[in-house]
Amino acid sequence: MQIIITKNYEELSKEAAKIVRTRILEKPNLVLGLATGSTPLGLYQALIKMHQQENLDFREARTFNLDEYVGLAPDHPQSYNYYMRENLFKHINIKKENVFIPKGIAENIEEFCQQYEYGIKKRGGIDLQILGIGRDGHIGFNEPGTSFTSRTHIVNLDSVTIEDNARFFNNESEVPRRAITMGIGTIMEAKECLMLVSGAYKTEIIARALQGQITEKVPASVLQKHPNLTVILDEEAANRLEV
Ligand code: F6R
């Protein structure tokens, strides 16, 4: 595991973008796993800048998002589909047919989840997976107690996650209670994982995840077993890490 501690969020985002750029230059048809939420926004802005100023080319890149709320259509402003379009895709030259996001309004969710897994496999697996971490230790929407061998599936969100994500909605009651997420087994098969952690409120959970016991009670702790993991933290988030 490689741990990089940066002064602040801006530096964290730049460091992450440099890693993504290197991987795209090495492999233009990179299969990139993407996350949503607040943390990767700076990374996406930095990548947009690289595309605009250095012609960083996403034409051949393929992307698979970690998760999506059940019941939200792609044009719903709080859907992750909408988030990805607004915060990254519409500003770069990625092809629409190379973008994959779980379908929150799939008629048959179980069948959809299997197709999603197959879609990843068919493209050779995820080369680089971007991850954040929830305050309860979740990765993707794999909440505490999720099996380390889980594949893409439907989940009930924890009260902590609903509370944390209410900031994106008018109020907590509007936050969908269910989501589709890549499983922990799916995430662990990515050839490389890049986790981004920012802010004082992540201090405790990231220390438990990276330096505590490996347990399904802290889903992110499984990453200690990943053969190619880089974690970039800002100083605030790294406060309790022993380095
Ligand atoms: C979102 C995702 C989640 C977030 C996590 C942290 O696609 O996979 O696991 O990474 O909830 O969210 P933020 O970055 O908003 O603190």
Task: Identify which of 150, 79, 77 has the alpha carbon closest to the alpha carbon of residue 117.
Answer: 150
Q: Confirm if 63 and 98 have CB atoms less than 8 A apart.
A: yes
How much distance in Å is there from the Cα of 63 to the middle of ligand 1?
17
Q: Give me the active site residues, please.
A: 67, 136, 138, 143
Residue count of the chain: 243
Task: Name residues of the chain where pLDDT drops below 50.
Answer: none
pTM recorded for the entire structure:
0.98
Ligand 1 site-directed mutation target among 133, 164, 196, 218, most atoms within 8 Å of CB: 133
* Distance between start and end Cα atoms, the chain: 12
Which residues does a 6 A CB cutoff place in the pocket of ligand 1?
35-39, 66-67, 132-134, 138-140
Closest ligand 1 atom, CA of 80?
7
**In the prediction, which pLDDT does 243 show?**
81
Q: Confirm if 16 and 47 have CB atoms less than 8 A apart.
A: no
